[in-house]
Amino acid sequence: MRRSAAVFCGATVVLAGTLTAVPANASASQSANTVQAAAAKVAWKKCATDDYPTLQCASVKVPLNYAKPGGKKITLALSRVPHTSKTYQGPLLVNPGGPGGSGLTLAGFVASSLPKKVAAQYDVVGFDPRGVGKSKPALDCKPGYFNPVRPDSVPSTSAIEKANLSRAQSFAKACGTKYKDVLPYINTISAVKDLDSIRKALGAKKINYFGYSYGTYLGAVYAKLYPQRVRRLVLDSIVDPTGVWYEDNLDQDYAFDKRHKALMAWIAKYDSTYKLGTDPAKIEAKWYAMRAALAKKPAGGKVGASELEDTFLPGGYYNGYWPYLAEAFAAYVNKGDADPLVEAYENFAAIDSSGDNGYSVYASVQCRDAAWPRDWKKWTKDNWAVYKKAPFMAWNNAWYNAPCAFWPTKSLKPVNVANSKLPPVLLFQATDDAATPYQGGVTVHKLLKNSSLVVEQGGGNHGISLSGNTCLDKYLATYLTNGKVPRGKGKVDAVCKKLPDPKPQAAQQSSAQSTLSTAPETAATNGDTLHGILGFRG
């Protein structure tokens, strides 16, 4: 259930064009012949938007199966904001995570969010990984899989458990039937080989790479397989590569429960606004009472217990959503008004066709990347154990990943990303990140010998650079300018203070026309824009 910002950039196969790629090691004086050789591989065309007026789009064809490079080809959609400076540092490939996230819009965001002097030195290149968005084929295993109202996520009865199991099995079967010839090649290693195909198409000897969330694992695996091709590497909100993917998802559950409690504590600070009380534990009890009521009578025929969890899940990724979630919570509890809750669901959690596509790729990659338990008894034991300590997301997350228990393709082995062959690498991690818990950053810092870890102390957001923290962004700008990273004496190389938590929104309309409907679009900060692009579950 990965929601992300709309993809504004269309990518099409273009046989000829005047906009050309320049090799990463190129200078302004390089021969026209070299430039033309690269240009023959990628032909860019304008696809400007109001937000990103210099955005360009293109596509490249790559093998479906790299073991048979002469066989069937698939298409990858690309976007680019070209460099404008005489000093050119090559392509900076960006990825928003997922797996299943579209990176086309992210190129425009990164280029416009970096200091102008820094962005001007790079071709900032976004891409839709294989199976995603504008790339072809784009997967959609079972349209409408998340349509409301789904069974309660907590399998408190055998009937509820059977209903959820049936859904998971049907999704896995639909993917296997619809994409039998494609599924074996939707995985991280194939995506990494696509990255190198993009590098070649751009005419670059080396790439710079900037990835968020799952994009950190993608980048680390690329660095493992092609260390000689890495010029600079930035990883933000870091996946623990030693837990791919079953253990990582269990670890998430504890962290998301902690973030949910942080939201309850924040609401308690503003009792004068929300009137839900001053005791976080009692407020949390009211939330679970609301959940129980919605399990019996879904709000607006749309928001049952599972959909309520989906709606509040984004608050674990980004605290900018807290005021809107708190308003909806308070309206339901204090006034019996479910309209704001329904609108919050529609804005933050409802799945459209792009979400169906994102989830199809998410499941395809995660289920193929690594072994998952095939015995449902193992899932039951582990998730009930988690639920007892961290109930907020435990079973919701379990069912999200449950198709992997029935996946039609065999699993690969996770990649050991340990690496001593890289130039300096810059890592960003918030201590209270729920989607990629802190240990992931610590682990990758140890595994990547020449890396530096910059920590946002007390921060709980997922995706922390280019989201308003000037301390973090200074380290990023310095690194992209000259390759220099901070070096500390301890386990952490630099620490930045977290940004302040949000404050309640000014009282506005209490009807369904509340600020909920416009919050993501009218918010002025980079954080709101970034988290709209990164989406959730990624």
Catalytic machinery residues: 213, 433, 462
DSSP string, 152-172: PSS--SHHHHHHHHHHHHHHH
Write the secondary structure of 41-109 as one string of H (helix), E (strand) and C (coil).
CCEEEECCCCCCCCCEEEEEEEECCCCCCCCCEEEEEEEEECCCCCCCCCEEEEECCCCCCCCHHHHHH
Separation of alpha carbons 211 and 323, rounded Å: 28
CB-based contact 458:283 (threshold 8 Å): no
Written as six digits, the tokens of 375 are: 């015995």
* Degrees, nearest 5: CA angle 328-330-336: 90
Residues 6+ apart with CB under 8 A from 268: 276, 277, 278, 279, 280, 283
Q: Report the distance separating Cα 262 and Cα 244, nearest Å.
A: 27
Residue 495 host element (H or E): strand 494-497
Pairing of strands 230-236, 425-430: parallel
For residue 267, give Cα distances in angstroms to 273, 309, 329, 339, 430: 9, 17, 10, 20, 22
Structure tokens at 89: 């540092």
